[in-house]
Amino acid sequence: MFKKLKEYDVSNKRVFLRLDLNVPVKEGKIKDDSRITAALPTIRYLLERNARVVAASHLGRPKNGPAPEFSLAPVAKRLAELLPGTDVVFAGDVVGDDAFSKASALKEGELLLLENLRFETGETKGDEELAAKIRKFGDVYVTDAFGAVHRAHASVFQAPKLFDVVLAGFLIEKEIQYLKENLEKPERPYFALLGGAKVSDKIPILKSLVEKVDGIAIAGGMAYTFLYARGEKVGRSILETEMVGTATAIMKRAAERGIPFLLPVDHVIASSMEDPVPTESAKIDDNSSAFDIGPKTIALFAAEIKKAKTIVWNGPMGVFEKEQFRKGTVEIAKAVADTGAVKIVGGGDSVSAIKVAGVENRITHISTGGGASLELIAGDKLPGVEILYEKGQ
Ligand code: ADP
Ligand code: MG
């Protein structure tokens, strides 16, 4: 098992805190601070116990060391606003003189935010020397950087190896609880709902889920590669011809296992995404694309959803960003929300879709990680999670 934040007395300790504060920043302005607010419970918990906290995160993908557009300075400013009464200090480097002098001057209940971890090129390379320097910032390693646990980066994987005490923050605790512990022994029937744009993005999760679940429904853009593989006409719908073999193999596995494998049986089609008069149709003509699932498909999927005790959902059912093509996603979101099952939703657009449908309060767990969520749901071993288990023994 892994050790949770509350299972160790962090009072007055020097803590290195790995966070995911990778927010969108444009011209020094933060466009969406939800990753910062999501980290607050763990930060507050530590500060309330008078820990001296050295926090660190990556932001964007700087390639060759420091680059001002990837600075965490705006994040430090926002953190200070969100933590009134707390001294938030910002370091101009990661493991340089400024960081270490500010870290040693840190008082109890104060927070130091380091500059972007990826300004050190050793971070993404999993450099041991960088990890050894990070070790000097504290006696306790706490992580809440769920969005980064699938990377064997220095601050995620090599650094925690060097600490005696390694703890999972509140965000990661929940993510592991639902995406790993819960899905390793799911209450059955276990049903997967997959959508989104492309099959190619979702191959690992598809291959893994087809072995584990008791039923799958596929919609969204990727459904059309499956329908095409079955010999159906898909018109100008999004189609990945190079994925037809993969799609066929996945459907074959589902058939061998004898599990329901549902695809759309009707669609909302239009000649282009801008078309103001979309039509419902069981067939897709040569000049149309399917941008949403139709009413029969909604009913078909909803009937299966009703029976489930565990539901995993990734990927919208249609082009939900456009009002004309939103109904499928919204209706399915409601059907999922209405069940008493354990309901887990992951994926950036899927989370937005759940909010558009207004059911976010009725979903058991909404995962915050993109790639990390999908990999954990697929049952992959993630470096940043494995190390928590190793250290938690
Ligand atoms: P997530 O971020 O939840 O993993 P994806 O990124 O895989 O989801 O997919 C989301 C995108 O898929 C949305 O932008 C949506 O418009 C698109 N999409 C859904 N259905 C279709 C469709 N039928 N045709 C084209 N694009 C689609
Ligand atoms: Mg997406």
392: in domain = no
Q: CB neighbours of 370 closer than 8 A, spacing ≥ 6? A: 147, 347, 348
* Residue of 228, 319, 330 best suited for mutating to test ligand 1, as the one with most atoms within 8 Å of CB: 319
382: in domain = no
Q: Mean pLDDT for the chain?
A: 96
Q: How far is the CA of 321 from the centre of ligand 1 (A)?
A: 9
Given a contact cutoff of 8 angstroms between Cβ atoms, the answer to whether 312 and 379 are in contact is no
Pull the structure tokens for residue 371: 């790639």
Residue % of the chain over a pLDDT of 70: 100
Residues contacting ligand 1 via CB (< 6 Å):
195-197, 201, 220-221, 238, 290-291, 314-316, 318-319, 321, 347-350
Residue in this structure with the two tokens 């990390």, named with its chain if needed? 372
Q: Looking at 168, 190, 220, which one is the last position of a domain?
A: 168
Return the sign of the alpha-carbon dihedral for residues 250, 255, 256, 257.
positive
Measured from the alpha carbon of residue 268, the closest ligand is 1
Of all atoms in ligand 1, which is nearest to the CA of residue 202?
7
Ligand 1, atom 14, lies closest to the CA of: 319
319 in the same domain as 289: yes
Given a contact cutoff of 8 angstroms between Cβ atoms, the answer to whether 315 and 196 are in contact is yes
Of all atoms in ligand 1, which is nearest to the CA of residue 322?
16
138 in the same domain as 98: yes
pLDDT at 93: 98
Q: What domain range includes position 310?
A: 176-377
388: in domain = no
13: in domain = yes
Pull the structure tokens for residue 214: 């008791």
15: in domain = yes
Given a contact cutoff of 8 angstroms between Cβ atoms, the answer to whether 373 and 367 are in contact is yes
386: in domain = no
109 in the same domain as 227: no
Of all atoms in ligand 1, which is nearest to the CA of residue 351?
3
Q: How far is the CA of 332 from the centre of ligand 2 (A)?
A: 18
Q: How far is the CA of 277 from the centre of ligand 2 (A)?
A: 26
Smallest Cα–Cα separation from 203: which of 137, 247, 248?
A: 247
208 in the same domain as 256: yes
Instruction: For residues 325 and 304, give the distance between their C-alpha atoms in angstroms, rounded to a whole number.
Output: 22
Domain count, the chain: 2
Measured from the alpha carbon of residue 314, the closest ligand is 1
Rounded-to-10 torsion of CA 25, 29, 30, 31: -80
* Residue of 200, 325, 349 best suited for mutating to test ligand 1, as the one with most atoms within 8 Å of CB: 349
213 in the same domain as 158: no
Q: How far is the CA of 320 from the centre of ligand 2 (A)?
A: 12
Name the pTM for this structure: 0.90
Task: Return the CATH number at 157.
Answer: 3.40.50.1260
361 in the same domain as 267: yes
Given a contact cutoff of 8 angstroms between Cβ atoms, the answer to whether 267 and 224 are in contact is no
Question: How big is the chain, counted in residues?
Answer: 393
Q: How far is the CA of 350 from the centre of ligand 1 (A)?
A: 8
130 in the same domain as 216: no
389: in domain = no
Amino acid at 176: I
Instruction: For residues 233 and 251, give the distance between their C-alpha atoms in angstroms, rounded to a whole number.
Output: 18
pLDDT at 54: 98
Of all atoms in ligand 1, which is nearest to the CA of residue 350?
3
pLDDT in tens, the chain (393 residues): 999 999 999 999 999 999 999 999 999 999 999 899 999 999 999 999 999 999 999 999 999 999 999 999 999 999 999 999 999 999 999 999 999 999 999 999 999 999 999 999 999 999 999 999 999 999 999 999 999 999 999 999 999 999 999 999 999 999 999 999 999 999 999 999 999 999 998 988 999 999 999 999 999 999 999 999 999 999 999 999 999 999 999 999 999 999 999 999 999 999 998 877 899 999 999 999 999 999 999 999 999 999 999 999 999 999 999 999 999 999 999 999 999 999 999 988 998 999 999 999 999 999 988 889 999 999 999 999 999 999 998
Ligand 1, atom 22, lies closest to the CA of: 221
Q: How far is the CA of 205 from the centre of ligand 2 (A)?
A: 14
243: in domain = yes
197 in the same domain as 149: no
131 in the same domain as 270: no
pLDDT at 369: 82
- Maximum CA pair distance of the chain? 69
Q: Looking at 168, 199, 228, which one is the last position of a domain?
A: 168
Of all atoms in ligand 1, which is nearest to the CA of residue 201?
7
Q: Looking at 129, 144, 168, which one is the last position of a domain?
A: 168
pLDDT at 277: 84
186 in the same domain as 152: no
Q: Which residues are catalytic?
A: 35, 198, 348, 371
182 in the same domain as 122: no
139 in the same domain as 85: yes
